[in-house]
Amino acid sequence: MEKKRQKQSVGRIEKIEIRYLGLPEDVTLVMNKGISTPYNCAQHLSEGHCKRSALALLDGNLIWDMHRPLEDSCTLQLLNFTIAEPHAVNRVFWRTCSFMLGSALNNAFKDEAGLELHSFPSPNVKSGSFVHDVVLSVKGWQPNEKEMRAFSTEMVKLALRDVKIERLDVNLELALEIFNDNRFKKEHLPNIASNNNGKITLYRVGNHIDISKGPMVGSTGFLGKCTISSAHQIGDDGENRGIYRFQGVALPTGIKLNHFAFDILVKRSRKLNPARLPTEPYEDSSLNRLLA
């Protein structure tokens, strides 16, 4: 509803020129300011561009979500996972995996588990795992192999659905309403808004919504081979509930790796990720950890 309201509030539609740089040739597209997205630009090029493009690059230096409306005339490059310099795309993919893991955990746990999503750290591909930290109503829980497979299955199911990942900036009042049942996010929302011109940047996949500065890849369909490999208890919340760090490893769709090599990555991903723990103090008031 909020996205629809914002779209309707655009008012008089202005035209902008988007200069696409890439194959099969450079071309200038006339698009709608505040409405058209990089994905809409890709639709004017080919179906292949729509399927391959995970991210957009504006004016050669600004990473942009595929489904985020364009605000001004600019140059546009469409990025995939086979480009010569994939570092930025890989970081965004890692962030998206953490975001998707939050959705998968919500779907996997029954209500009696008392799951509360806490946050996920900024992506660090070199760490060997993507991460999502949560709170459960039990301490000392050690998941068995069947349970770990269930988490991986939820990730794969989400990928197969090929759900669009959408970004939306909302005001503090609406964000507080959305996260009314999550004490961790609700506590920090005012501070986040104060450091972001009064706005909270949210991402949505299906019914799952979380806070992140982004960007994210355009769809869950970019997730290929994936394993959720470990769940470490890393503390408690002071109310006799355990804080757990879920970790996993994944490859983008279309990137091939044999079973032996991928198993090495899985084993490495089980080691406790060294990212800042939820129980550790923040270095500054910007709360970057909640804005991964």
Q: 189 in a domain, yes or no?
A: no
In the chain, what percentage of residues exceed pLDDT 90?
Answer: 85
pLDDT digits (tens, 9 = 90+) for 160-217: 999 999 999 999 999 999 999 999 999 999 999 999 999 999 999 999 999 999 999 9
Could you tell me the strand order of the sheet in which 242-252 lies? 116-119, 130-136, 242-252, 223-236
Could you tell me the strand order of the sheet in which 199-205 lies? 166-171, 199-205, 208-211
Q: 49 in a domain, yes or no?
A: yes
**140 and 73 together in one domain:** no
Q: How far apart are CA 97 and CA 105, in angstroms?
A: 12
On the CB side of 279, CA atoms within 13 Å amount to: 12
**95 and 226 together in one domain:** yes
What are residue 187's DSSP bridge partners?
none
Q: 238 in a domain, yes or no?
A: yes
Give the rounded distance of the alpha carbon of 227 from its chain centre: 17
Q: How far apart are CA 240 and CA 286, in angstroms?
A: 28
Mean predicted lDDT score pLDDT of the chain: 92
- If one counts the domains in the chain, the total is 2
pLDDT at 51 over 60: yes
Q: Which one of 53, 79, 105 terminates a domain?
A: 79
Which CATH number fits the domain that encloses residue 36? 3.10.20.30
In the chain, what percentage of residues exceed pLDDT 70?
Answer: 92
Please say whether the beta carbons of 218 and 164 come within 8 A. Answer: yes
**15 and 142 together in one domain:** no
Q: 210 in a domain, yes or no?
A: yes
Q: 150 in a domain, yes or no?
A: yes
Q: How confident is the model at residue 12 (pLDDT cuts 50, 70, 90)?
A: confident
Q: How confident is the model at residue 286 (pLDDT cuts 50, 70, 90)?
A: very low
So what's the pLDDT on residue 280? Answer: 75
**143 and 223 together in one domain:** yes
- For the whole prediction, is pTM greater than 0.75? yes
**157 and 239 together in one domain:** yes
**121 and 75 together in one domain:** no
**100 and 244 together in one domain:** yes
Provide the residue range defining the domain that includes 74: 10-79
